[in-house]
Amino acid sequence: MRTFAAAGLALLLGGCGGGDEGNGAAADNAVAAEPTPIAGQPTPVTPSTTLPPGDGIPGVSAPLPANEVRPADAAAPVATEAGPQEAVAVLTDYFAAIGSGRYQDAYRLWNGRGEASGMSAKAFADSFAKYAEYRATIGTPGRIDAGAGQRYIEIPVRVTGRLLDGTPVSLAGPVTLHRTGDIDGATAEQRSWRIQTSGLKPRPATDTATQQ
């Protein structure tokens, strides 16, 4: 009777010990197992924080706000052709060069680097060397005439001065400038305003009417 009781107690204790080992293994397996993601919850590859505009993950471009444009995407400024004011500037430089005796500089402001004047550089310089004074008043430029890739503009000019012997001089008339349009193959010189013809004619020295 005592032997049977002892055997039963040993079997009971052995069963309890086996139960503990089984529970420990199950716990270890529970720790090692990865959690199952829940739909809509952050995961290691889905950051849960919102990146501020302009920031991003290295190697990944982040969108800019709608009202910002990257410099590379910005529209390039549209180039405009030389207009009336540039033509007036050329005439201003031309008469300033003559007035200061820089005849070669003035000569090169004719079309063809002087050829349109119809004179050689020396003959051109000699024609102005007789003046002691030479001043020009430039009027309002007309409209630009365009055609076949060419541009023309007419500007009224009034010249007053004095010859070396003291004789007063007065000239008036239109000066026409020409340039090539901004077309493929045209050089910077060809696209610049240059004097094509001059209609300056002698006027009475007492005539002070201003050309418009």
pLDDT of residue 68: 57
Q: Regarding predicted confidence, which is higher, 65 or 165?
A: 165
pLDDT, tens digit (0-9, with 9 covering 90-100), for 24-75: 554 455 455 555 655 555 555 545 455 455 444 444 444 555 555 555 545 5
pLDDT of residue 174: 98
pLDDT of residue 122: 97
pLDDT, tens digit (0-9, with 9 covering 90-100), for 176-195: 999 999 888 889 999 999 99
pLDDT of residue 41: 56
Tell if the pTM clears 0.85, that is, is over it. no
Tokens of 1: 């009777």
pLDDT of residue 211: 41
| E strand residue ranges, the chain | 131-138, 145-147, 150-163, 168-180, 194-198, 201-202
Q: How far apart are CA 72 and CA 63, in angstroms?
A: 15
Q: How far apart are CA 110 and CA 32, in angstroms?
A: 92
pLDDT of residue 60: 43
Q: Regarding predicted confidence, which is higher, 54 or 113?
A: 113
Q: What is the DSSP letter of 57?
A: -
Question: What is the SS3 assignment for 113?
Answer: helix
> Is 190 within 8 Å of 112 (Cβ atoms)?
no
Q: Regarding predicted confidence, which is higher, 78 or 170?
A: 170
Q: Residue 162's CB: how many other CB atoms inside 10 A?
A: 15
Q: Domain residues of the chain, as ranges? A: 84-202
* Statement: residue 22 has pLDDT above 70: no
* Statement: residue 14 has pLDDT above 70: no
pLDDT of residue 184: 87
- Domain 84-202 classified CATH 3.40.47.10? no
Closest listed residue to residue 158, CA positions, set 204, 210, 197: 210
CA angle 168, 172, 178 (to 5 degrees): 135
| C-alpha torsion angle, residues 154, 160, 163, 165 (rounded to 10) | 160
> Of the given ranges (47-56, 83-92, 158-167), which has the lowest mean pLDDT?
47-56
* Statement: residue 141 has pLDDT above 70: yes
Mean pLDDT of the chain: 77
